[in-house]
């Protein structure tokens, strides 16, 4: 494989990343309330930087270890670390009540600890 292919792939990765980060702003605009938005965005974007800081030294240690050929572990270990988190977040999004999301976005709730049960109690009044 020539270095031209590597450069082309890196350019494509950059273009995709250039589209991914602005889409996160829209995601937060739709799924969070005003009071939660700044905090959640800070956590998400600092986690991206934190993952980079952790994964670079981890990748070099895994390559030197020779475990399973060295470099394949650079993909397996971080991928397996993120799987429980991704499953948990996916379940939370699926199980999240629609009335909660509507209440947060419409400004009826300002707390991330607000429950859908509170919405039904407030609607009963």
Domain coordinates of the chain in residue numbers? 32-124
Mean pLDDT (whole number) for 47-59: 85
The predicted pLDDT at position 108 comes to 61
The predicted pLDDT at position 12 comes to 92
Mean pLDDT (whole number) for 31-56: 83
What share of the chain has pLDDT > 70, as a percent? 71
Mean pLDDT (whole number) for 107-112: 55
CB neighbours of 104 closer than 8 A, spacing ≥ 6?
Answer: 31, 32, 33, 36, 114
CB neighbours of 11 closer than 8 A, spacing ≥ 6?
Answer: none
Identify which has the larger pLDDT, 93 or 48: 48
Confidence of residue 93 (pLDDT cuts 50, 70, 90): low
Span of 26-35, 62-71, 98-107 with lowest mean pLDDT: 98-107
The predicted pLDDT at position 79 comes to 83
């Amino acid at each position: 494989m020539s270095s031209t292919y590597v450069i082309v792939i890196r350019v494509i990765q950059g273009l995709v990343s250039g589209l991914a980060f602005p889409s996160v702003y829209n995601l937060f605009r739709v799924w969070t309330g005003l009071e939660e938005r700044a905090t959640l965005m800070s956590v998400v974007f600092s986690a991206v930087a934190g993952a980079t800081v952790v994964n670079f030294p981890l990748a070099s240690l895994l390559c030197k270890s020779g475990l399973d050929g060295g470099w394949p572990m650079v993909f397996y270990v971080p991928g397996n670390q993120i799987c429980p988190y991704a499953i948990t977040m996916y379940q939370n999004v699926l199980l999240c009540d629609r009335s909660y999301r509507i209440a947060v976005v419409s400004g009826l709730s300002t707390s991330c600890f607000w429950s859908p049960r509170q919405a039904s109690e407030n609607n009963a009044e």
